[in-house]
Structure 1
């Protein structure tokens, strides 16, 4: 492994991960290892391994002897594409669907005893890092002594900015995407972003090893959504950075069903989004929680105005669960999506 490891959480999205790694392999700086936790079961694991063998001309190097207990299976692949940046691909099959944070934490546990990495770049499977993205975010992290550094996330379909960094609006129980909708090449002041942001998007977050060892792993009881905000808000004296020259394209919502069309969103994404906003606000901003709870209830009516009656009901259920402080997977929506 060469300095930086990459973590990707998969759930039956082999094609998206294949495209992400094909782009990552064009990085202008080496990528020590890409560590992928597949939450979707043995069939998804086999499909992913086959896709990467073909894309990166990989040879198998056996199982990872350092795979932690939540991994039911592991496989190390050695890419053979001439001039490729990726040194190794480490695949882990989770015993069950661990959720986003659980899968990231599995990767962290697998890396814990290895001395040959200094930072972890967490990427969504539906991202496409530009060739200089890793070099830019790594340089920013090292120059500023930051704990976590974000990239410029650009929505792939529109070519507009998704965010530079995020602010948590405690009185609304909502996040705010700094730069949302701006032209991708619009000039900005990175220092202003850094002073304004409260968190870095989990779609592309560069985390130093020192941060992980001091702050600890991600909190897993959100299951999906808000984990990265929680991780950033627990930073203590660590600083958050922003690398404007690190550009990552994002097919936002392609994997987890969090479409901007409120009628198209999956019930699970709606429920967890609404619930976890309140869970996080209560944890970090208890004085603001009563106001945030009322505002969050008002925000659920956006689904009605969009004609998404079903998701309005789901949003109300998520709001109520957040008010009650519920965490974990919402089993009343059905069983945890099972591996297969």
Structure 2
């Protein structure tokens, strides 16, 4: 990461109780070739040993073995590594590996925004890569994102191909679309075989999947930070609506392997959503539709009722109850309170998740 002639890429990774996955992600990133990385970890007040795990790993006090089930060989970096720890705003901007302590679980976007603000202090960083902590990154991927040709006039958000870690031949998504009547999102090329699915045109996209999403500095400075009031889900869908005339871009060589749903129990090919996922997914969907497609709210609401009925028919009573709470603007189920942490609950109950004002959508 010392060669000044290499392209530069800023990386933001938000952790919350990620001790079981974050080291695999970091080791794969540190094996990147032909690119200079500035990596910022933002810990959203984890209640497990995420922070201690990072410290022990960086110092070399605890050895980390590459994952046995990795789709590719992941080398182990030399230790010790310098891990700069600080509260947001206090860390040196030129550090190669930084851990910011958010102090509260403010949700995905709040953590990302802290990381983006930190990286934006470095003028040489023109692209910011938002990456999930439960990801594995092939060594060529960071350079692909950093050096992918920029269209004339620039771009807003760039994505690559997300593959399932536990089924690496299958695609989780190449980009996303959403239904203007229900707000339901879908991943392009979902579940198709990687070897058989051609790279899609980004003109088909409505948004870039938030698990691996590169924002240009031009877009960040124009659109502002991610909206924080969703807490989980739909932040990237909303953000993409603010792109104005800056196009979305697809980088076919930007491959990332994703252990889907490790943090919040998002649905996968073989598993339905957790209670937490059901609540926040539909809370965010209704919030998005209220903001961008208010005329379709009755249809979006009806879809939610139908989905709750489907959960009940399948015997998933807790998921149905959580979904109905989300539809009617109620707080999260009591069973989720401990998982979220006290700071998150205070922000949810106060309705103050939007800590930064959103600019008007370009061209609106």
TM-score by length of 2: 0.79
Q: Does 1:186 align with 2:172?
A: no
- Report the Cα distance in structure 2 between the residues aligned to 1:299 and 1:264, rounded to whole angstroms: 12
5+ long unaligned stretches in structure 2: 2-6, 65-76, 344-364
Q: Does 1:146 align with 2:179?
A: no
Distance apart, 1:237 and its partner CA: 1.4
RMSD: 2.7
The worse-fitting range, judged by mean Cα deviation, of 98-107 and 51-60 is: 51-60
- The residue number in structure 1 matching 2:121 is 113
Contact 1:119–1:207 (8 Å) recurs in 2: yes
Q: Does 1:131 align with 2:139?
A: yes
- The residue number in structure 1 matching 2:346 is none
Residue of structure 2 aligned with 1:242, choices 240, 250, 253? 250
- The residue number in structure 2 matching 1:27 is 32
- The residue number in structure 2 matching 1:163 is 173
Residues 268-306 of structure 1, C-alpha deviation per residue, up to 9 Å, x if partnerless?
221111111011011111222222221222122232233
- Give 1:210-225 correspondences, 5 Å limit: 210-225=218-233
Contact 1:252–1:258 (8 Å) recurs in 2: yes
Distance apart, 1:124 and its partner CA: 0.2
- Report the Cα distance in structure 1 between the residues aligned to 2:37 and 2:145, rounded to whole angstroms: 15
- Report the Cα distance in structure 2 between the residues aligned to 1:38 and 1:28, rounded to whole angstroms: 26
2:22 aligned counterpart, secondary structure: helix
- Report the Cα distance in structure 2 between the residues aligned to 1:14 and 1:104, rounded to whole angstroms: 18
Distance apart, 1:63 and its partner CA: 4.8
Contact 1:141–1:149 (8 Å) recurs in 2: no
- The residue number in structure 1 matching 2:311 is 303
- The residue number in structure 2 matching 1:60 is 82
Q: How many residues are paired up?
A: 317
Contact 2:189–2:197 (8 Å) recurs in 1: no
2:126 aligned counterpart, secondary structure: strand
Q: Which structure has more helix as a fraction of its residues?
A: 1
Contact 1:262–1:308 (8 Å) recurs in 2: no
Contact 1:190–1:243 (8 Å) recurs in 2: no
- The residue number in structure 2 matching 1:337 is 341
1:154 aligned counterpart, secondary structure: strand
The worse-fitting range, judged by mean Cα deviation, of 17-26 and 34-43 is: 34-43
- Report the Cα distance in structure 1 between the residues aligned to 2:271 and 2:92, rounded to whole angstroms: 39
- Give 1:305-324 correspondences, 5 Å limit: 305-321=313-329
Distance apart, 1:204 and its partner CA: 0.1
Residue of structure 2 aligned with 1:197, choices 197, 205, 215? 205
5+ long unaligned stretches in structure 1: 79-87
Q: Aligned pair in 2 of structure 1 residues 63, 15: CA closer, same or farther (>3 Å)?
A: same
Q: Aligned pair in 2 of structure 1 residues 259, 292: CA closer, same or farther (>3 Å)?
A: closer
Q: Which structure has more strand as a fraction of its residues?
A: 1
